[in-house]
Amino acid sequence: MARARAFHGTIVHCPTVGETKILEDTLVVVSASGQISHVEHDVPRADVEKTLSRLNLPEQPSAITLLDRTDFLIPGFVDTHNHAPQWGQRGLGGGLHILDWLDEITFPNEAKFRDAEHARKIYSACVDGFIRQGVTTCSYYASLHGEATTILADVCHSKGQRALIGKCNMDRNAPDYYRDKDAAESLQVTRNVIDHVRALDASSGGGALVKPILTPRFAVSCDDELLAGLGSLAQENPDLPIQTHFNEAQQEIDATLRLFPDFTNEADLYDHFGLLTDRSILAHCTIMTDYEIDKLRQKDSGVAHCPVSNTTVGGGFMAAPIGRFLEKGIKVGLGTDSGGGFSSSILDAMRQAVIVSNARQAINGEPALSIWQCFSLATLGGARVCSLADKIGNFEVGKDFDALVVRGGVDGVMTMVQEDDSLPMIFEKFLISGDDRNIEEVYVKGRQLKGKST
């Protein structure tokens, strides 16, 4: 299990969203229970031991990592929108519009999770795959199956990934072989999964590494009774976050408004059912009216921006107006979405977020995003969207130590580091061209999940 550790070198993090600090010669001390207990700046490498003794720590770190000039300690990535069952289908169905892609590719794939062994195999590979890429926190949609969803929670818990786990609610507009029987059954399975996930957490001393999340797939696949039942659960359980797909594509918006003729937009619809709250994680938000943007702000709901799947699934150029959301103060994080896109990497999500923002700027003059802003969305931004910013997202003392050791000098495909590169240049090279080979160590709550242990 975790033990006290110290890291010395350059840390890069965002004290606030949009502000990235590169801090050289910094000493970060992590307690045995996995919290950041001290951060000391301007500590020469030669003085690390002396400084640690001076700090009079209750437990001296048993492992001290000294980072080189081309290495960085950064907060772990937060993936705010991810379908775990889609780990094995990513890349299939290119060009299909969203509802056709669900029918032809996704529902047949997710239906296989009725088999617990299949779920164990795919979920284990999925969680390993995301940890390898530096995702220390992930908000997962499971399939609709209760047993498979509890298996996903068990896998995250045992592998040590911080996760929100949701049984997918869907009682209509899906094939007979992959649909909840009715609203009552869907809600009962949801309650059972919540109990299981809460018990898991309690068994590890209430560390809250794995938490339940309400997961109506989207309004197209939930009838009024189910949405209302989930809204009631949300109200009765103020600790439960909520996730759903929101204004993803024109085909989906048209279908939603046909099913709910009393509403003219999705913001009012989800609000009516008690699902638009400050704990809501709204995936996509690509086609938004000014009214809906204002409503998201007013409700303090968060946006899971998934630019890779938005530009891979067919149906037009879909890209959320992130520059405008940020100007308004709306919480934004990044999501891989997994199945719908070509990549499961948050680094790729950052790059694609830059690209789609450039496109929006060219089309209608909206503010473009820099890769640095996207780094803040991938860390602190995501933590805020998942209602976890009091625990993770940066290296504030008292937060849990969820972190990555990034090495710029390893064999891989990252833009080559040169002698006269400044630290911001080396880090920018990582953000724009690095991959999981550069992410040598991964920690969640102080526990090392990737890399040679020291």
The contact set with ligand GUN (CB under 6 A) reads: 83, 98, 102, 106, 217-218, 245, 248, 309, 313, 337, 339-340
Select from Fe ion, ligand GUN, none the partner in contact with residue 133, using the beta carbon and a kind-dependent cut-off of 5 to 8 Å: none
CA-wise closest residue to 137 among 396, 431, 395, 384: 384
Nearer to ligand GUN, 309 or 448 (CB): 309
Binding segment for Fe ion (CB under 5 A), chosen from 119-127, 130-138, 337-345, 435-443, is 337-345
- Tokens 């990235």 map to which residue? 20
**Burial zone of 55 (CB within 10 Å; 0-12 exposed, 13-18 middle, 19+ buried):** middle
E strand spans, 62-179: 63-66, 71-75, 77-83, 135-141, 162-166, 168-169
Binding segment for Fe ion (CB under 5 A), chosen from 160-168, 265-273, 332-340, 342-350, is 332-340
Select from ligand GUN, Fe ion, none the partner in contact with residue 444, using the beta carbon and a kind-dependent cut-off of 5 to 8 Å: none
Name 170's Cβ contacts closer than 8 Å, sequence gap at least 6: 144, 178, 179, 180, 186, 216, 217, 221, 222
Chain-centroid distance, C-alpha 166: 13
Helix (H) or strand (E) holding 356: helix 346-364
Nearer to ligand GUN, 34 or 339 (CB): 339
Coil/strand/helix, residue 247: coil
Nearer to ligand GUN, 218 or 270 (CB): 218
Residue nearest to Fe ion (CB): 337
Nearer to Fe ion, 160 or 339 (CB): 339
Closest contact distance (angstroms) between CB of 196 and ligand GUN is 23
Among 71, 180, 337, 348, binds Fe ion (CB under 5 A): 337
Cα–Cα separations (whole angstroms), residue 230 to 272, 275, 320: 12, 8, 26
Nearer to ligand GUN, 15 or 316 (CB): 316
Residue 362 CB-half CA count within 13 A: 7
Name 258's Cβ contacts closer than 8 Å, sequence gap at least 6: none
Torsions phi, psi of 410, nearest 5? -80, 165
The neighbour count for residue 327, using CB atoms within 10 Å, is 12
Q: In angstroms, rounded to a whole number, what is the distance separating the alpha carbons of residues 90 and 110?
A: 12
Closest contact distance (angstroms) between CB of 245 and ligand GUN is 4
Closest contact distance (angstroms) between CB of 92 and ligand GUN is 12
Nearer to Fe ion, 337 or 366 (CB): 337
Select from ligand GUN, Fe ion, none the partner in contact with residue 4, using the beta carbon and a kind-dependent cut-off of 5 to 8 Å: none
Select from Fe ion, ligand GUN, none the partner in contact with residue 180, using the beta carbon and a kind-dependent cut-off of 5 to 8 Å: none
Nearer to ligand GUN, 136 or 221 (CB): 221
Q: In angstroms, rounded to a whole number, what is the distance separating the alpha carbons of residues 408 and 415?
A: 9
- Site size for Fe ion (CB under 5 A): 1
Select from ligand GUN, Fe ion, none the partner in contact with residue 446, using the beta carbon and a kind-dependent cut-off of 5 to 8 Å: none
Closest contact distance (angstroms) between CB of 380 and ligand GUN is 25
Select from Fe ion, ligand GUN, none the partner in contact with residue 98, using the beta carbon and a kind-dependent cut-off of 5 to 8 Å: ligand GUN
Q: In angstroms, rounded to a whole number, what is the distance separating the alpha carbons of residues 167 and 180?
A: 11
Closest contact distance (angstroms) between CB of 336 and Fe ion is 9
Nearer to ligand GUN, 168 or 377 (CB): 168
Closest contact distance (angstroms) between CB of 172 and ligand GUN is 13
Closest contact distance (angstroms) between CB of 183 and ligand GUN is 18
Q: In angstroms, rounded to a whole number, what is the distance separating the alpha carbons of residues 67 and 73?
A: 8
Give the interface with Fe ion as residue ranges (CB under 5 A).
337
